A and B are shown apart, each in its own frame.
Chain A
């Protein structure tokens, strides 16, 4: 069956079984070109898709999905979703749906010929190798992903959109004597032509080379300057505390704190799925709620959790349209383009410039918001970076860190970590560093 046929089949069969149902289709096309030593070492070109089901049976919700679109597989998914709903102990509902239209957020973005993409991958890898300090390139290349999402429900939701991303980057090792550093970066854009392989490679070389010949850092408390990508990683952890679902499940330290000051008054945190050219912009969420801009923290004051229809109802708050679901998963809450607004009041003085955090999935606890993370960086003195430092960890709590922000740069940079997270350079009054 085609996805269109499968959709009609599922909605018809759900009605016949007396079920309310929502069907979410996702179809992805992926192209990845990996270059090494002047040749393409891996070309990957693929398609994947499936249908995720959410059904309501006797007032309760159950889920299932399938990538096989045979009648037998669709029937299996319906039966599993119904059984899962009937076993559930939790009241649920499907939101009232509406026509949502068809949207193209990609346009001509990825339409360049394959040869141009191959050349870009090779150029990036070549430029990485050109530096005499480059010891080896693990990979350098190009990747694109195009996604088509369609939503339909027995309650009248009906809509679709197409979006996608192109990216270039690589991973490589630089050395100077016995000092070795592995650098990695990936730049994303909505269009192939917005990518610049030569410049990306040069910046990656420069970013990695400055970390060579690092000295140990003495254990102590220092002012910290977080580069945008490092801060974006912390925002990705903090976003879990903003989830209405986590709040509902007692897993957010922000529960009960709406209207309170939770961060420095320099901090304004916004999620905007409507950003033009936003990396993860979308016209509507996974339940069909139209997208709109949400101010989460305004001048340090916590304004709202991010909600889907279910979490908003359960907490008695307004639905912000942040339902998130991939067809293989269940309904969740997630930001789209979440960013810390730049302020432009930051000047380097003395402290540690953190260029990168490592081990976030292990060293940062999204419930307690405590973190203790390995980091790489540079020692800053008299307003400039003097030398690299290594073999140290930074510890603290994300809420304390947000309260200690005393300066923000003027340029947003973005990192996609599930959602897109944006940040300028950030100055934090004091953090705890463990080293030599």
Chain B
């Protein structure tokens, strides 16, 4: 996208202006989205995002600019705006002298698509979406179905004054199905949305009619579900997207974005026991074709597998460049951003609880009265106080160790560090699922995951 000469000129000019470190990030992303409803293509959009961000460090002070003008003039103007804002325009610092020797890291194609997006036309995609929609038409109560395909091909270039030069093309596809069930005035929804860092082989991995049927079954279950009970009780959290609870309750608290500012209740606690010994928690950016995987992070460093908690003991945080400068912890390839309009911060990639050795049936059998949270919606956390919440998308009551009727509208509420100490059993059926995570550097694709886990006590928000 940009020539090494141009990038080098910019980086050197930044050093001349007194910056201690400078980075150029350029991006060209092709995005397409198609939505099917009522047996026809309802809406289709295609787009090209094209821009660059320049980040300078003066000590731990960061200045950031972005622009859509990827010309020498456009980029120079963006850089000069920054130097002016910092009051450093026109300065000459000797560090800008001499050349930069870029170490070019060639992309290895670890997550390259097997069926490239260009291999099939839009009609092929439309037919798959129609299959998904048809798959959701399970019963007359299913009144509306919406099936969408999102595809995203992002080319990035990251270069910095330490000589890093990384390029990567990231391809992601995701299928969304929303089913609306209605009976009388009662309306409930169901949702399924598999996504991976793959091309159109997504449809082979997740046959569209099965995805549609899954969304519809959930909507029908919720239609006959009663409001969830309210109160404090044991909860068995389902595998795969169930991991969102610990993404919120634990993961965000381990990002240097909040740790470096002591704005996390888990700051300064390396080596301490912060969770039940049943918990090993890992953030792995290298999982092949996972939704949150990349070869390099958005600061140009190779991604890693980072063991955050091992048998309850805090082993590592997730560290980006700024976090490293502020804390001294080694970088973990965790610098991520939504796109060129954001400076990177430390973010999760694919974060999950490692499998244990219990059987799912045993987890449920041990509960006298509680909730089985089979499928989760999203959630939120305040790292500074650890307070989190997340919604149960599909839930069932447990009585005397048996799964009973479905309940809806349950919201789990608590404080992360307390909840993670109350994980009393972990099953062996580990799975991950995709989601979008919003934080300081925008919305980024992540996976969350876990096997089934039993938490001895959580506040369940339902109808009192």
Q: Please list the residues of chain A having a beta carbon within 8 angstroms of any beta carbon in chain B.
A: 36, 39-50, 62-69, 73, 76-77, 80-81, 83-85, 87-90, 114, 135-138, 171-173, 180-182, 219-221, 249-251, 253, 328-330, 358-359, 361-363, 365, 367-368, 370-374, 390-396, 432-436
Contacts and interface: CB of A to CB of B under 8 A. Distances in A.
Contacts, number: 257
Interface stretch (B13-21, B296-304, B404-412): B404-412
Contact of A249 (B64, B146, B380): B146
Given A250-B182, A393-B411, A434-B411, 13 more contacts: A43-B61, A43-B63, A47-B68, A48-B51, A48-B67, A49-B68, A66-B50, A67-B68, A84-B44, A173-B263, A182-B387, A253-B185, A435-B232
Which 10 pairs between the two chains have the least Cβ-Cβ distance?
Answer: A393-B461, A89-B40, A434-B230, A374-B389, A182-B384, A362-B378, A173-B384, A84-B44, A80-B46, A372-B411
A32 B247 CA distance: 28
Contacts of A181: 384-385
A45 B85 CA distance: 8
Contacts of A329: 45
A171 B53 CA distance: 25
B261 interface: yes
Contacts of B65: 44-46
Given A173-B385, A391-B459, A68 B391 contact: no
B314 interface: no
B387 A363 contact: no
A363 B42 contact: no
Nearest to B40: A89
Contacts of A137: 261
Given A68-B50, A87-B126, A114-B85, A395 B262 contact: no
A173 B85 CA distance: 29
B418 to A, nearest CB: 10
B40 A76 contact: no
B228 A372 contact: yes
B464 interface: yes
Contact of A138 (B37, B53, B63, B261): B261
B379 interface: yes
Contacts of A36: 261
A393 B50 contact: no
B43 A136 contact: no
Contact of A64 (B46, B49, B185): B46
Interface string B59-97: 011111111101000000010011001100000000000
A76 B66 contact: no
A63 B44 contact: yes
Given A362-B390, A432-B464, A81 B46 contact: yes
Contact of B60 (A41, A62, A81, A220): A41
A66 B60 contact: no
B156 to A, nearest CB: 15
B180 interface: yes
30 contacts: A40-B61, A42-B343, A46-B65, A46-B66, A46-B67, A47-B78, A63-B44, A65-B45, A66-B50, A67-B50, A85-B44, A87-B41, A88-B41, A88-B44, A180-B384, A182-B382, A219-B231, A219-B464, A249-B144, A249-B146, A250-B144, A330-B45, A359-B391, A363-B389, A371-B409, A392-B459, A396-B463, A432-B463, A433-B230, A434-B230
B277 interface: no
Interface in B116-174: 122-123, 126, 143-144, 146
Contacts of B37: 249
A372 B383 CA distance: 21
Contacts of B115: none
A42 B461 contact: no
Contacts of B50: 66-68, 73
Contacts of B32: 80
B406 to A, nearest CB: 14
A116 B122 CA distance: 52
A38 to B, nearest CB: 12
B294 interface: no
Given A363-B389, A436-B232, A328 B415 contact: no
Main secondary structure of the interface of A (DSSP, over half): strand
Contact of A48 (B46, B68, B228, B389): B68
Contacts of B228: 372
B49 to A, nearest CB: 6
A138 B463 CA distance: 35
A68 B188 contact: no
A83 B122 contact: yes
A44 B411 contact: no
A219 B188 CA distance: 25
A40 B58 CA distance: 11
Contacts of A361: 378, 380
A67 B189 contact: no
Given A67-B50, A89-B41, A251 B180 contact: yes
A142 B182 CA distance: 46
B230 A393 contact: yes
B464 A43 contact: no
B377 interface: yes
Contacts of A392: 413, 459, 461
A88 B34 CA distance: 10
B258 interface: yes
A399 B448 CA distance: 33
Contacts of B382: 182, 358
Contact of B41 (A48, A68, A77, A90): A90
Nearest to B48: A66
A77 B374 CA distance: 42
Contacts of B98: none
A63 B45 CA distance: 5
A200 B266 CA distance: 29
B415 to A, nearest CB: 7
B414 interface: yes
B411 A363 contact: yes
B187 A367 contact: yes
B413 A374 contact: yes
B46 A84 contact: yes
Interface string B6-48: 0000000000000000000000100010100101111111111
Interface string B371-409: 000000111101111111111000000000000000011
B185 to A, nearest CB: 8
B107 interface: no
B411 A391 contact: no
Given A68-B48, A136-B262, A363-B389, A395 B463 contact: yes
A77 B44 CA distance: 12
B194 to A, nearest CB: 19
Contact of B462 (A43, A221, A390, A395): A395
Contacts of A394: 461
B413 A65 contact: no
B227 interface: yes
Interface string B341-385: 101000000000000000000000000000000000111101111
B82 A43 contact: yes
Nearest to B415: A391
A393 to B, nearest CB: 2
A372 B410 contact: yes
B386 to A, nearest CB: 8
B460 interface: yes
B180 A391 contact: no
B113 to A, nearest CB: 20
B47 A65 contact: yes
Nearest to A33: B85
